[in-house]
Structure 1
Amino acid sequence: MDKPYVIGIAGSSGSGKTFFLKSFLNHFSEDEVTLISQDDYYIPANTKTREENRLYNFDLPTAINRELFYAHIKDLFDGKTVFKEEYTFNNPNITPKMLQINPAPILVVEGLFIFHYEEVNQLLDYRIFLDADEPIALERRLRRDLIERGYDHDDVMYKWTNHVVPSYNEYLLPYREQCNLVIRNNVDDPQVIQDFTNTIAVDLRKRIG
């Protein structure tokens, strides 16, 4: 198989990256595009040092099994199928699934640190950066963590202030101006994201057609 066309997608917490990915992938069949997510390469929390308040910091490059993440991306480059256990964010109520990631002409690599990891960044053909103003991003994060995941409000705010924002400023924001496309997603209008993904999909179909 020829080298895939590699799209890197990163975004701040609350930027709408999950919806963007879903909308984007819906334009293609499974044999046309494949997704590999940094989130499935977290090092288990019980192997890490706790902070004084007993909250783990998942927003550091060292929280990811960087070597395995890169090795699996390279396997997809070589036309190999990757098998990886799903990461369940240490939720004991979820039985992790075995993920099968198949090579495809379009490879989407997503995650907070994909531009910071030089070995991953140099493999990318096209870089997309999703962003949102901090008050809007925080509101979305609170909505997700408090309502959908049932987290404690003080824990969410502590992580936002001490983990999420500092990590974004150090490991993601410096790469924004180097990206091919920057999407400022400050409105909760799905059509805005869908319009972007429609345009990108049309261009990609020309490339792989």
Structure 2
Amino acid sequence: MSKSVVIGIAGGTASGKTTVTKKVASFFDGLQVTILRHDDYYKDQSHLTIEERLLTNYDHPHALDNELMSNHISKLINGNSIDKPTYDFSKHTRSHITERINPTKIIIVEGILVLEEEMLRDLMDIKIYVDTDDDIRFIRRLMRDLKERGRDIDSVVKQYINTVKPMHNQFVMPSKRYADLIIPEGGQNQVAIDVIVTKIKHILS
């Protein structure tokens, strides 16, 4: 198999990264696309007490095992399979369950901080930042956490103010300067999706 095309898709929480990823992937045969989510590469915390794990700032780069992710992307690029980790958010540590991932022509790396880390950027052929208004992102996150994660409004707001917003300003937003393409309004920007798909097909050809 020829060298894989690696696309990095970053942006703030609830910016529309997953929508962009799904729309891009939908243009290709599912067997051609691998999606690696940065969230699966949070560091193992099994050596910590549950009280210590609860203090983890998941929006800080230090919470992520970028070395392992970089190693896995390199293996996929070189035609080797990997055993991707998964994360158990109920226990706040890495799960014992892994997922076997085989090499494909297209690898999409998605997460709020994937452009912040140089070792990941160096492996990417296309770097994308999904840029959505802060108010819209907060509303989306609030609605998602209330409906899908059983959170209450006070805890969502407190987390957003204390960690999500400061980390966005310090790490996520500045990583936009590394992007080859900045997409306003995420998956609703069909022109941008078409440009990305065209570029991928050009590289593959």
Shift of 1:151: 0.8
Aligned to 2:90: 90
2:205 is aligned with 1:198 = no
**SS of match in other structure, 2:130:** strand
Pairwise mapping of residues 1-209 of structure 1 onto structure 2 (< 5 A)?
1-44=1-44, 47=47, 55-90=55-90, 98-185=98-185, 192-209=188-205
1:164-193 residue CA offsets vs partner (Å, 9 max, x unmatched):
11111111211213311111218xxx6x24
1:90-118 residue CA offsets vs partner (Å, 9 max, x unmatched):
269xx986422221222211222222211
Shift of 1:33: 2.0
How far, CA to CA, are the matches of 2:20 and 2:110 in structure 1?
11
How far, CA to CA, are the matches of 1:51 and 1:130 in structure 2?
34
Compare the two structures and name the one with the higher strand fraction. 2
How far, CA to CA, are the matches of 2:88 and 2:22 in structure 1?
19
**After the TM superposition, which of the residue ranges 106-115 and 40-49 deviates more from structure 2?**
40-49
Do the aligned residues in 1 keep the contact of 2:59 with 2:163 (CA within 8 Å)? yes
**After the TM superposition, which of the residue ranges 105-114 and 12-21 deviates more from structure 2?**
105-114
How far, CA to CA, are the matches of 1:130 and 1:51 in structure 2?
34
Q: CA RMSD in A?
A: 2.6
Q: TM-score with structure 1 length normalisation?
A: 0.84
How far, CA to CA, are the matches of 1:24 and 1:120 in structure 2?
20
1:131-190 residue CA offsets vs partner (Å, 9 max, x unmatched):
21111110000000011211121111111111111111111211213311111218xxx6
**After the TM superposition, which of the residue ranges 104-113 and 157-166 deviates more from structure 2?**
104-113
Letter in 1 for 2:192: F
Do the aligned residues in 2 keep the contact of 1:83 with 1:100 (CA within 8 Å)? yes
Task: Classify 1:30/1:165 alpha carbon distance in 2 versus 1 (closer, same or farther; 3 Å).
Answer: same
Shift of 1:44: 4.4
Equivalent pairs, count: 202
How far, CA to CA, are the matches of 1:74 and 1:145 in structure 2?
34
Sequence identity (%) = 36
How far, CA to CA, are the matches of 2:6 and 2:166 in structure 1?
28
Q: TM-score with structure 2 length normalisation?
A: 0.86
**SS of match in other structure, 2:30:** coil
How far, CA to CA, are the matches of 1:17 and 1:117 in structure 2?
17
Task: Classify 1:32/1:78 alpha carbon distance in 2 versus 1 (closer, same or farther; 3 Å).
Answer: same
How far, CA to CA, are the matches of 2:190 and 2:174 in structure 1?
26
How far, CA to CA, are the matches of 1:67 and 1:101 in structure 2?
18
Task: Classify 1:44/1:120 alpha carbon distance in 2 versus 1 (closer, same or farther; 3 Å).
Answer: same
How far, CA to CA, are the matches of 1:141 and 1:48 in structure 2?
28
How far, CA to CA, are the matches of 2:139 and 2:49 in structure 1?
29
Q: Structure 1 stretches of 5 or more lacking a match?
A: none
How far, CA to CA, are the matches of 1:197 and 1:15 in structure 2?
15
Letter in 2 for 1:197: I
